[in-house]
Structure 1
């Protein structure tokens, strides 16, 4: 980077959203510099080999793709594909369980509930969310609609009430009677969000909405080649278009008068300054405030335990009617009955780790064996990824290592209770003879990735419409594209933007559109 260089746009943070913005701006002929603090681009959307001597390339922090619009893939010419899982989910109960997918959903519901009532309610409910998804998802890459405009577009008073106005727990309890079915539905409202089904803030509703609208279908697909395949493709596209991407450069401050800006940074023992007409910040709102020297927004708190594993083989199940390849090929729910989720939330709210930690698991390598070396694939090795719920950062504050270890043990014990053999008997070992299992708490994610409080969405998600102040042109955070800040030439392009969260590229696209005056 030349000393005292000047660019049309400086992007702070080389995660996937920053790279999307870089790609669009560079392809539009703008001079672009991306400053990335870490030694590699990708942020949380990376692939790595965490276990020494084990050639398995894991999506280490983020796992599945739903919210990435094909529009972005197409317009940036990305060489990136996803693959549909053959099973949606499996939830064990005793020596049986509920399998959704493979043409067996209705029979599985009947065996679990003793009739077709719950299955009919399931079809009606997800038919409703599918209609909402078809209407709402395309708006994510358009200027931010107002609340009433989006309500008119949804054109379904029952859906609007259920998803946007009253706690999701009300709609679930109105429609479903079986505790396990209720729990499976509720989980989409809790992934990455610490809330009760009846939380009056509706944080759980916003989380649920983003989990069911992706791609206009709500499907969650496997990234072929791992999540790093996406960010590698984005970095290649941005670089080929002329964007300059530098790693090991940490932005330390932003000064702006609304027209011209300067970004200070450090790399190793050196510091520097670069001028820019526009600054796009692919970091959290709290990080943005710190860079600008402004008062921070309210603190965020993540609430998940992320666990990565490599297995020599999949374990046998207590439920002999389901092949392990089916059960782990979709989302495998553990301790996620409706009552169990409520109990876990109450325990964690009181400062205690859940006694029966709820979690969900899936096996990436069943859908995409390319993440395993040919040798491991031939030997039957598989990967397992676990996402634990209701484990807020506050639980780890006193002793992160000790609580991580005890919570991991309790979580795996819940999984073992659904298996016909101990998971430990199936775990692969690394080059030092250690089991291939690692766990990341919210505090680990904050330290390693800069996620505030380990919050994977940077802060609570927002509904995908403008606030009344934004509709009235009052300015401030949000604006026409949901990415504008109080500074005319500083834009938020990270997960904390309106319509942010997940591996979507939407904030990156929208920030680029705001800069380009679209």
Structure 2
């Protein structure tokens, strides 16, 4: 049972955002209780020994960090750090019958030479520099606003102070900008991938889903860099849990919340361990889960569209493209079947109800940048992890799967690895390590697996569709309240979203947790 019967704040869900909120509020002197359904904190941002008898701690679900503001690490005194990847990406290709590829990283000269080797001119490299120079300027202006009260659309546009960029990224489908900037199909695809991570859409979606996803993928840290968490993703959430407990927050795991009742001023939160009262409730779960707890109608379905695969290898596989070292190719994001045309074809096939014939995916090797996630003996023997994130596989395609018979997921995994093998000089299967029971060290998760395991609605890693990081008309009407000003409001005055479903949610960022805590403290300062 909790130590008290009533708290200033009860937080539903002990994922990283809930822990951020708990740490801030407890440090500010509030009584805080965190209730977590699973037997551990961390939610999707955890490290796990996924393979029996193998000393490797993999970031099982979330695996890279871009949107976590350094100020949260500083404010909470976290012992946590990230490390830059030396290579941004490698994309294998076949040109004129020969294996080649595009390597982005290793210095400007190396990247320029790779563009020239792929395309035969400097045009695409020059366009690339100009394009990402623009996104870097955008990032420097937008990223600091994510931990401030939600700006209006007009205020954010004024802050960006670049009408051409605003029009291209906030008003017109991203595909128009990509096609106007680049001519090479493979280069176009590399750019488009940032608009499709966890988002089932096309380059020319008039609803601009791709633009919103792209924006969050290129503004992190004010640079757009995606960094490797030292010690794995669990190092972050363990540090957050320590910070929250150290500040006085109570955290109870293995305690699912079963109901939530509120009159707008006080609330009651029920679990198998009893009912506690709260002045405010912060929900670090999806809007679908919030509706269930309140007994309200659920929001529109939010479908995920990704395959998540974790692997442990005895060594990295050799590549057909002999001009690049596998240690470079897998250090960044290794793109498979992600040319512009391939991405659009895969979307079209999945939208028609079939698995993509050439499943697009991207892979990276955490242990190349941070070997600390492996035991000393595995490092000595040259073992490595691989993490694969597949695109354009919406939850609806897995409707016939069950935990006992995930036939569709298994077919997709086989097709995805077969597509990867077309760019390898040897089958990946021959490089897979074996666990203590002799089984290959590989695990896969479909969107429906993520729903069952983590409560992600339809496997949607963002909980619902992403929103641009400004207040729309409805948000502006709610701006008279602190939750409205911070983008964490719900239909109940004392119930706030502090997870990925908040405005400016998604990714491993801590931003919704920070903003929900700031809304609580702002309201308290007014009362």
So what's the TM-score if we normalise by structure 2?
0.96
Q: Which residue of 2 aligns with 1:314?
A: 316
Kindly indicate whether the alpha-carbon contact (under 8 Å) linking 2:483 and 2:496 is maintained by their aligned counterparts in 1.
Answer: no
Q: Distance in 2 between matches of 1:212 and 1:323?
A: 27
Q: Which residue of 1 aligns with 2:20?
A: 20
Kindly indicate whether the alpha-carbon contact (under 8 Å) linking 1:478 and 1:498 is maintained by their aligned counterparts in 2.
Answer: no
Q: Which residue of 1 aligns with 2:165?
A: 159
Q: Which residue of 1 aligns with 2:510?
A: 505
Q: Which residue of 2 aligns with 1:102?
A: 106
| 1:164 shift after superposition | 0.7
Note if 1:86 corresponds to 2:86: yes
Q: Distance in 1 between matches of 2:483 and 2:204?
A: 27
Q: Which residue of 2 aligns with 1:371?
A: 373
Kindly indicate whether the alpha-carbon contact (under 8 Å) linking 1:325 and 1:366 is maintained by their aligned counterparts in 2.
Answer: yes
| 1:259 shift after superposition | 1.0
Kindly indicate whether the alpha-carbon contact (under 8 Å) linking 1:289 and 1:296 is maintained by their aligned counterparts in 2.
Answer: yes
Matches within 5 A, 1:112-511: 112-266=118-272, 271-400=273-402, 401-473=406-478, 479-511=484-516
Residue 161 of structure 1 aligns to a residue in which SS?
Answer: helix
Kindly indicate whether the alpha-carbon contact (under 8 Å) linking 2:451 and 2:458 is maintained by their aligned counterparts in 1.
Answer: yes
Q: CA offsets, 1:135-192, max 9 Å, x none?
A: 0000000000000100000011111111111111000000000000000000000000
Kindly indicate whether the alpha-carbon contact (under 8 Å) linking 1:87 and 1:102 is maintained by their aligned counterparts in 2.
Answer: yes
Kindly indicate whether the alpha-carbon contact (under 8 Å) linking 2:479 and 2:485 is maintained by their aligned counterparts in 1.
Answer: no
Q: Which residue of 1 aligns with 2:65?
A: 65
Residue 472 of structure 1 aligns to a residue in which SS?
Answer: helix
Q: Distance in 1 between matches of 2:158 and 2:397?
A: 42
| 1:475 shift after superposition | 7.0
Q: Distance in 2 between matches of 1:446 and 1:404?
A: 14
Kindly indicate whether the alpha-carbon contact (under 8 Å) linking 2:12 and 2:34 is maintained by their aligned counterparts in 1.
Answer: yes
Distance of aligned partners of 1:153 and 1:2 in 2 relative to their CA distance in 1, 3 Å threshold = closer
Residue 326 of structure 1 aligns to a residue in which SS?
Answer: helix
Higher mean C-alpha deviation, range 250-259 or range 43-52: 250-259
Distance of aligned partners of 1:262 and 1:324 in 2 relative to their CA distance in 1, 3 Å threshold = same
Kindly indicate whether the alpha-carbon contact (under 8 Å) linking 1:87 and 1:100 is maintained by their aligned counterparts in 2.
Answer: yes
Residue 88 of structure 1 aligns to a residue in which SS?
Answer: strand
Q: CA offsets, 1:282-317, max 9 Å, x none?
A: 000111111111121101100000000000000000
Kindly indicate whether the alpha-carbon contact (under 8 Å) linking 1:14 and 1:282 is maintained by their aligned counterparts in 2.
Answer: yes
Q: Distance in 2 between matches of 1:190 and 1:55?
A: 33
| 1:478 shift after superposition | 6.8
Kindly indicate whether the alpha-carbon contact (under 8 Å) linking 2:483 and 2:519 is maintained by their aligned counterparts in 1.
Answer: no
Q: Distance in 2 between matches of 1:15 and 1:56?
A: 22
Q: Distance in 2 between matches of 1:301 and 1:470?
A: 24
Runs of 5+ unmatched residues, structure 2? none
Higher mean C-alpha deviation, range 61-70 or range 153-162: 153-162
Q: Distance in 2 between matches of 1:122 and 1:369?
A: 31
Residue 384 of structure 1 aligns to a residue in which SS?
Answer: strand
Q: Distance in 1 between matches of 2:506 and 2:478?
A: 25
Kindly indicate whether the alpha-carbon contact (under 8 Å) linking 1:252 and 1:265 is maintained by their aligned counterparts in 2.
Answer: yes
Q: Distance in 2 between matches of 1:356 and 1:475?
A: 50
Kindly indicate whether the alpha-carbon contact (under 8 Å) linking 1:354 and 1:390 is maintained by their aligned counterparts in 2.
Answer: yes
Q: Distance in 1 between matches of 2:479 and 2:242?
A: 38
Q: Which residue of 2 aligns with 1:39?
A: 39
Q: Which residue of 2 aligns with 1:8?
A: 8
Residue 217 of structure 2 aligns to a residue in which SS?
Answer: helix
RMSD of aligned C-alpha atoms? 1.2
Distance of aligned partners of 1:229 and 1:3 in 2 relative to their CA distance in 1, 3 Å threshold = closer
Kindly indicate whether the alpha-carbon contact (under 8 Å) linking 1:306 and 1:388 is maintained by their aligned counterparts in 2.
Answer: yes
| 1:497 shift after superposition | 0.3
Distance of aligned partners of 1:194 and 1:185 in 2 relative to their CA distance in 1, 3 Å threshold = same
Q: Distance in 1 between matches of 2:478 and 2:268?
A: 27
Residue 248 of structure 2 aligns to a residue in which SS?
Answer: coil
| 1:124 shift after superposition | 0.5
| 1:3 shift after superposition | 7.3
Distance of aligned partners of 1:49 and 1:71 in 2 relative to their CA distance in 1, 3 Å threshold = same
Residue 387 of structure 2 aligns to a residue in which SS?
Answer: strand
Distance of aligned partners of 1:478 and 1:27 in 2 relative to their CA distance in 1, 3 Å threshold = closer
Kindly indicate whether the alpha-carbon contact (under 8 Å) linking 1:54 and 1:430 is maintained by their aligned counterparts in 2.
Answer: yes
Distance of aligned partners of 1:349 and 1:210 in 2 relative to their CA distance in 1, 3 Å threshold = same
| 1:469 shift after superposition | 2.4
Q: Distance in 1 between matches of 2:223 and 2:401?
A: 41
| 1:432 shift after superposition | 1.1
Distance of aligned partners of 1:148 and 1:478 in 2 relative to their CA distance in 1, 3 Å threshold = farther
Q: Which residue of 1 aligns with 2:521?
A: 516
Kindly indicate whether the alpha-carbon contact (under 8 Å) linking 1:396 and 1:443 is maintained by their aligned counterparts in 2.
Answer: yes
Higher mean C-alpha deviation, range 285-294 or range 224-233: 285-294
Runs of 5+ unmatched residues, structure 1? none
| 1:4 shift after superposition | 6.5
Q: CA offsets, 1:381-425, max 9 Å, x none?
A: 000000000000000001250001110000000110000011011
Q: How many residues align?
A: 514
| 1:472 shift after superposition | 3.3
Higher mean C-alpha deviation, range 397-406 or range 89-98: 397-406
Kindly indicate whether the alpha-carbon contact (under 8 Å) linking 1:477 and 1:486 is maintained by their aligned counterparts in 2.
Answer: no
Kindly indicate whether the alpha-carbon contact (under 8 Å) linking 1:41 and 1:231 is maintained by their aligned counterparts in 2.
Answer: yes
